[in-house]
Amino acid sequence: MNAMQTAQHSRIAVVTGAGSGIGRAVAVELLLAGWSVALAGRRTQTLEGTAALAPEGTGGASIAVRTDVSRPDDVAALFAATVDRFGRVDLLFNNAGTFGPGGVPVEELPYDAWRHVVDTNLNGAFLCAQAAYRQMKEQDPQGGRIINNGSISAHTPRPHSVAYTATKHALTGLTKSLSLDGRPYGIAVGQIDIGNAATDMTAGMGAGALQANGEVVPEPVMDVADVARTVRHMAELPLGANVQFATVLATAMPYVGRG
C-alpha cells in the first residue's frame, strides 16, 4: 500500500475521554466522517452513549473500552483491543483530563488532588502517547498522528488552577518532544489548545468566571462542534503535513489583551 492509499484508507482512531464533552464531540465527528474509533473512558455506559450518536451504518465502526488512562495496564489493554479489532492505530486524540477541585487556592490544595490531576492529565497523556507511538512505529505501513488536547491554560492560567495549568504547560513539552522523536517514523504530533468550548466542564461560565482582578464575569462560549471539526481537519492531513499547535477559542473570551 503506497502513501496515498494509506492516507485514504487508514482511518483508525483512539479517543480518550470519549464519554462526554470534547472527547464525545470529536469521536462522533470522526465516526460520521468514516473513521473507526476506539472509545476510551472510565464509564462504559457513557461510552456507549457516544457510540449511539453515530450508529453503525452512518459512518465508521466503534468499540467501547473502559479505561483509566492513569493506569498502565488499562492503557495497554486499550491499544491491544484497538489493534485486535481494527488492525492498527492511525490517530490518538489524547483528550482525557480533569480540572480538579476548582477555585482552591494554592495553599489549600490537597496533595491527593494535585496527584489526581497530574496522574490523569500528564501521566495519562504520556502513557497513551507512548502506547500509540510504539504501535505506530512498528505497524505496516508505519506512522500515524497524535493530537494532544492542551488548553488555553497551556499559555496562561486562570486564578486558582495551579494543578491544571501546570499539567497543560507540561503537555506542550510532551507535544514538542514527541513531535521531534516521531519524525524518523512518520509519526506527526500536534496540539490543540481550546478555550471555552460549551461542555459540562464550562457550564458555569455563562453565570460568571473568576478573573485575574478578582471580579466574577460571565464569559462567552463556543459550540464544541467547532472544536471537533478542527480536530478532524488536523487528523485528516497527510502525514507529510502537521498542525503543530492550534488555538481555538470563543472569539470574545477574555484571553487576548487585557480582556
Q: Express each pLDDT in 194-221 by its tens digit.
A: 999 887 766 677 678 888 888 888 888 9
Along the chain (259 residues), what's the average pLDDT of each consecutive run of 10 residues?
42 97 97 97 97 88 97 98 98 95 90 97 98 98 97 90 95 98 98 89 75 85 95 98 97 79
Question: Half-sphere exposure of residue 9, counting CA atoms within 13 Å on the CB side?
Answer: 8
Phi, psi of 68 (to 5 degrees): -100, 110
Residue of 196, 176, 171, 152 whose CA lies nearest to 244: 176
Cα 132 to Cα 94: distance, rounded to the nearest angstrom: 10
Q: Model-level pTM? A: 0.92
Q: Which residues are catalytic?
A: 164
